[in-house]
Chains A and B, each alone.
Chain A
Amino acid sequence: MSAGEVKHAGLNLGATDEDAHEQAEPDVFGFWIFLMSDAVIFALLFAIYGTMLGATVGGPTAASAYKIGPTFAETLILLTSSFTFGMASIAMKHGATPRVLLGWLAATLILGVAFLGLELHDFATMTGDGAVPMRSGFLSSFFALVPLHGLHVLAGCLWLVVMMVQVPIFGLDARVKINLLRLGLFWHFLDIVWIAIFSVVYLQGLIR
């Protein structure tokens, strides 16, 4: 067993920290099991949304309720936050100063909060236009699927805050490093779910 071996999916600590790398294998595997069960929940909500596309009962339709501009902005923000988190992971792995690491984490947090702000503004506009979850099966399935992703992003933001406290207090020990690896997987996973949301929900609804 060499320390540089790939032990789990995701960024591996490898030879930069051999003890933490050994410990990361079971921890990260457990986290992948959680991510995949979460993926099943999202997939089934997508399936329900797919079956509810036509169930608008005369209320707002996808084409009238969605707007392409804010969706594109949200997509770019979340994608950029995935990149800044990747830079944070690399800073953590290769022993950058805590200031660099915290900087990348703060950038990710700001982008995550900006995403949530835009999304909430979208939902407020929709409900203001009468597109509320009670209106139709279509809107019920929309408000079950998309805000659930938003709640995940909110949880990720809270987790980011916790890590930005843990890094200065505990320093980069094995536990903090593995927590950051797991948060990275979670954050990148949410971006993959968002790809499905903007393609299946927003773009499909907006095609003329």
Chain B
Amino acid sequence: MTAPQTDLRRGKRHEIRTYVIGYALALALTGAAFAAVHWPSFAAPTTLSIVFGLALIQMIVHLRCFLHVSLGQSSRDDLLLILFSTLIIVLMVAGTIVIIANLHVRMM
């Protein structure tokens, strides 16, 4: 039994654990979001921000545990690609919603 094989086995255990942790966290976050809507205990705007906050956390969990994207171990082009795409998406989505909502208010 050589050292690299032990390393590989440890790596495999670590990878399985990452998926299990990700799955458990995702289940908990999903359950919390649906529970917050199914049994409303806050005002509607508060519930909405809770749901959106949980969704954001769950997306980060999926990226970290299922897609293995992390800030630390990778200083590579694909991290830049993901961050740049996120920037473009935020700009376009926020811009669209602000402009159309503003037009809507002016036309009513």
Contact = CB atoms under 8 A, between A and B. Distances in A.
A94 interface: yes
B25 to A, nearest CB: 11
What is the predominant secondary structure among interface residues of chain B facing chain A? helix
B37 A206 contact: yes
Interface residues of B, number: 52
A155 interface: no
A188 B67 contact: yes
Contacts of B85: 36-37, 39-40
Interface stretch (A68-76, A142-150, A156-164, A169-177): A68-76
A79 interface: yes
Contact of B62 (A50, A82, A203): A82
Nearest to B69: A9
A48 interface: yes
Interface in A161-195: 185, 188-189, 191-192, 195
B74 to A, nearest CB: 5
B37 A68 contact: yes
Contacts of B20: 83
A43 interface: yes
B67 A189 contact: yes
Interface of B: 4, 7-8, 11-12, 15-16, 19-20, 22-23, 26-27, 30, 33-34, 37-38, 40, 44, 47-48, 51-52, 54-55, 58-59, 62-63, 66-69, 73-74, 76-79, 81-82, 85, 88-89, 92-93, 96-97, 100-101, 104
Interface of A: 6-12, 14-16, 28-29, 32-33, 36-37, 39-40, 43-44, 46-48, 50-51, 54, 68, 71-72, 75-76, 79-80, 82-83, 86-87, 90, 93-94, 185, 188-189, 191-192, 195-196, 198-200, 203-204, 206-208
Given A40-B89, A50-B97, 13 more contacts: A6-B73, A44-B92, A51-B100, A54-B104, A71-B34, A83-B23, A90-B16, A94-B8, A192-B59, A199-B33, A199-B55, A200-B52, A204-B51
30 contacts: A7-B76, A9-B76, A9-B79, A12-B68, A15-B4, A15-B7, A32-B78, A32-B81, A44-B92, A50-B96, A50-B97, A51-B96, A51-B100, A68-B38, A71-B34, A76-B30, A79-B30, A83-B20, A86-B23, A87-B16, A87-B19, A90-B15, A90-B16, A189-B67, A191-B66, A195-B58, A198-B30, A200-B52, A203-B34, A207-B40
